[in-house]
């Protein structure tokens, strides 16, 4: 499952935790833990960890990403 998560991030784009959990058919807390580990290793970068209402958090990619929250 970790390899699938890494492959998804390699394809680019911005994903919500819910998107990743749904695509991996996994519990959101498990995906959160995997992402935390990958971020500690420098493999992924968290764009925003606040509420969904502020999902883009001023991200410079906000206009071009395919997040369902934009």
Domains within the chain, CATH numbers bracketed:
2-54 (1.10.10)
* pLDDT confidence of residue 70: 37
The closest alpha carbon to 23, from 43, 44, 37, 9, belongs to: 9
* pLDDT confidence of residue 68: 46
What digits encode the pLDDT tens for the residues 31-62?
Answer: 999 999 999 999 887 776 554 445 566 666 65
Beta carbons of 66 and 19 less than 8 angstroms apart: no
């Amino acid at each position: 499952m970790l390899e699938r998560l890494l492959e998804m991030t390699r394809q680019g784009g911005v994903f919500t935790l819910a998107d990743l959990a749904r695509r991996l058919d996994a519990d959101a807390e498990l995906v959160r833990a995997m992402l935390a580990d990958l971020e500690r290793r420098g493999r992924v970068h968290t764009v925003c960890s606040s509420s969904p209402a502020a999902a883009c958090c001023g991200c410079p990619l906000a206009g071009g990403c395919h997040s369902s929250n934009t």
